[in-house]
A = this chain, B = another copy of it.
Amino acid sequence: MMSAARARRVTIADVAREAQTSTASVSYALNGRPGISEATRVRVLEVAGRLGWSPANAARALAGAGADTIGLVIAKDPRDLSVEPFYMQFIAGVETVLADRSMGLLLEVVSDPDAEVEAIRRWHGSRRVDGVLLTDVMVDDQRIAVVSETGIPAVVVGDPSVAAGMTTVWTDDAVGMRQAVEHLAALGHRRVTRVAAPRRYAYTAIRDEAFERSARAVGIEHAIVHTDLSQDSGATAAHAVLSSARAPSGLIFDNDIMAVAALTAAHGRGLSVPDDVSIVAWDDSLLCRLVAPALTALGHDVVALGAHAARRLLDVIDGAQQSVHQDAVPRLQVRASTGRAPTGV
């Protein structure tokens, strides 16, 4: 079979010739600029449509317009991504905003933070993106340093305290944590353990602190175990914690995967949820609703978060001052996995 001969692309000059005018007028017409008669504009647009012309992105970018693209680089192991509903939702939200401005999203998935920095550098160097979105901020995150040093328009999705003054869209995890702790306390739980994300993530310290403060405020015993967020570490942590001398009656996990793993672990130990132990998950996903009992979980609208972040990034690209924006507060969805604390504990 013959490979289809690539027909020469139609250019602005072709349209100008066909419409019997100049390339300048074609450009004006397409971009809705003043300085052209209505008659000419209509004629040009008609011809452009008929010829199927659309401006080459590279040419406009070269002529001074931006790349009409923003970048998002995700540093995760592909294995973990399969269970992270977060990013697809976030991306979907971003896209809703980009679509209105017909901008594109350049995505890169890398396996380590160094590659992430390198990707941002490369994108900026080759002018492929007008700005970047930074998620999953870590302690001493190199990306923050690179971005603020090079002046790439960027929005940090995370706590302002780690954003080095850059524009930030953040969620108040502390309030979420407090809801979870108070919910368990109100149900009579006197000992609660937080099964947390790795310390390298910036949000971990924030949630740790909020957890301890909230627990102290309601006067209950508390402890924290740090994990790697995996299913295995969730199960391991659950077993360890539940077999300890003074086992807690309430567990708060930093994601849904670990919470579900803990559910299975508890059942495996002959414990009932929520009669013997109550479980709270962070990240309210479908998973939380699918398992039995359904999991009480902290959730927020990630699609909206993505849209919010994208909107702010476009503002920054347009020259807006650096600023801090709070997104919706996490809400506790109470379901069947939390109940009154067992008596006599």
| Chain B contacts for A4, CB-based, 8 A | 151
Q: Which residue in B81, B95, B105, B260 is a CB contact (below 8 Å) of A89?
A: B81
Q: Is A244 an interface residue (CB 8 A)?
A: no
| Complex Cα spacing A93 to B79, Å | 10
17 A-B pairs besides A83-B285, A104-B106 with CB distance below 8 A are: A1-B165, A9-B127, A55-B126, A58-B59, A58-B62, A58-B127, A78-B92, A78-B96, A91-B109, A104-B128, A105-B107, A106-B106, A231-B286, A231-B289, A231-B290, A260-B290, A261-B290
Q: Is A125 an interface residue (CB 8 A)?
A: yes
Within the complex, the shortest CB–CB distance from A336 to chain B, in Å, comes to 12
Query: Interface residue count for A (Cβ, 8 Å)?
Result: 67
Q: Is A3 an interface residue (CB 8 A)?
A: yes
Which of A55, A61, A106, A126 has most B Cβ within 10 Å? A126
Chain copies in the assembly?
2
| Chain B contacts for A78, CB-based, 8 A | 88-89, 92-93, 96, 303
Is A321 a contact partner of B1 (Cβ separation < 8 A)? yes
Q: Is A69 an interface residue (CB 8 A)?
A: yes
Q: Is A326 an interface residue (CB 8 A)?
A: no
Residues 78 to 110 of chain A near chain B (Cβ within 8 Å): 78-79, 81-85, 87-89, 91-93, 95-96, 99, 102, 104-110
| Complex Cα spacing A55 to B231, Å | 44
Residues 1 to 54 of chain A near chain B (Cβ within 8 Å): 1, 3-4, 6-7, 9, 52-54
Within the complex, the shortest CB–CB distance from A252 to chain B, in Å, comes to 19
Q: Which residue in B88, B109, B267 is a CB contact (below 8 Å) of A84?
A: B88
Residues 243 to 296 of chain A near chain B (Cβ within 8 Å): 257, 260-261, 264, 267, 285-287, 289-292
Q: Which residue in B96, B109, B302, B319 is a CB contact (below 8 Å) of A3?
A: B319
A85 and chain B: residue at smallest CB distance: B82
Given contacts A88-B87, A126-B57, A322-B1, contact A95 B81 (CB under 8 A): no
| Chain B contacts for A186, CB-based, 8 A | none
Given contacts A6-B151, A57-B128, contact A83 B81 (CB under 8 A): no
